[in-house]
Structure 1
Amino acid sequence: MIYGIGTDICDVRRIRASWEKHGERFVRRILSDVEYATWQSRHARWPERGVRYLATRFSAKEAFSKAVGMGMRMPMTWRSCEIGKLPSGQPVIVLHGALKAWFESHDLVAHVTVTDESDYAASFVVVEYRNPPVQAS
């Protein structure tokens, strides 16, 4: 049973402008420590790839916040929601702290997909009950 669905499209140029204006302070606000390390590596090799990575993470976190119905308010924070990947490359949502506790207490599981194309990054998240509640008839 679906708990919520979220989608987001992000203008990569807007993310680039924020990064150019605020520098690493902006990046640190959005990314977890693990994501930040990946961003540094990608940005060092090819700055545009770093910007796209940042935009896809921004978009996926926005989509997740919509799927759980919180927006960006506690316990949802940029850094408590991490977009990781499996060895296959499939993106996954990794939660931390109070957000993880809230999510687990509601017995939820999330599925995420991300994509980017020149000027845009987009994400789609489906959150469902791990064990759907029994509905009275």
Structure 2
Amino acid sequence: MFNSLDVFKNSKDISGIAGVGIDLLSVDRVRTLYQRYDDHFLAKMLGENELYFFHKRLNANYERGIRFLASRIASKEAFSKAIDTGIRYPITWKSIQIINSNEGKPRIILSYDLNVWYRSIYGNSHVSISDDIHMVIAIVVTERKR
């Protein structure tokens, strides 16, 4: 007979996953905040590299730019959930950037100070983002430090 406690008792020993975070965000909500607070909102939420790509997408297609902004906010929130801190010390919105690789895969880039803290506890992190006209979703998985 299976003892379910035995299965879960040692699950931390076999799993490489330290945390999982997910966030679902309304594109309309982000559009409203951007239209109301404009550059002040962007300065609080996006890092320098993200700002560059946001403006590039916004100029090419306004709605695509707004979805980009929403996806970055959702990804940062999901990351903060995966490491059990929320958006509070040591995390700020700008200390995390989500930048796509040349192949298009989103990557989590941490500020120097946040990276030092993060690497003392965790291993790699992975993000997946999906969006449609009305909603974006982001999932972040963090690995245990080896």
Q: Structure 2-normalised TM-score?
A: 0.86
**2:126 is the counterpart of 1:126:** no
State the structure with more CA Rg.
Answer: 2
> Which has the larger helix fraction?
2
| Counterparts of residues 1-137 of structure 1 (less than 5 Å) | 1-131=16-146
Q: Deviations over 1:44-100 (max 9, x none)?
A: 121111100000000000000000000010111111111012221111101003211
Question: Contact 2:71/2:136 (CA < 8 Å) preserved in 1?
Answer: yes
List 4+ stretches of structure 1 deviating above 4 A. Answer: none
Distance 1:11 1:22 in 2: 17
Aligned partners of 2:81, 2:68: CA distance in 1, in Å? 20
The aligned length equals: 131
Q: Does the CA-based 8 Å contact 2:44-2:93 persist in structure 1?
A: yes
Q: Which amino acid aligns with 2:56?
A: S
RMSD between aligned residues: 1.0
For 2:132 and 2:74, locate their aligned partners in 1 and report how far apart those are by CA, in whole Å: 13
CA distance in 1, matches of 2:143, 2:86: 17
> Where in structure 1 are there 5+ consecutive unaligned residues?
132-137
CA–CA distance in structure 1, aligned partners of residues 122 and 41 of structure 2: 32
For 1:85 and 1:43, the matched residues in 2 are separated by 16
- Identify unmatched segments of 5+ residues in structure 2: 1-15
Letter in 2 for 1:18: L
What is the rounded CA distance, in whole Å, between the counterparts of 1:89 and 1:42 in structure 2? 14
Report the TM-score when normalising by structure 1. 0.92
What is the Cα deviation at residue 101 of structure 1? 0.9
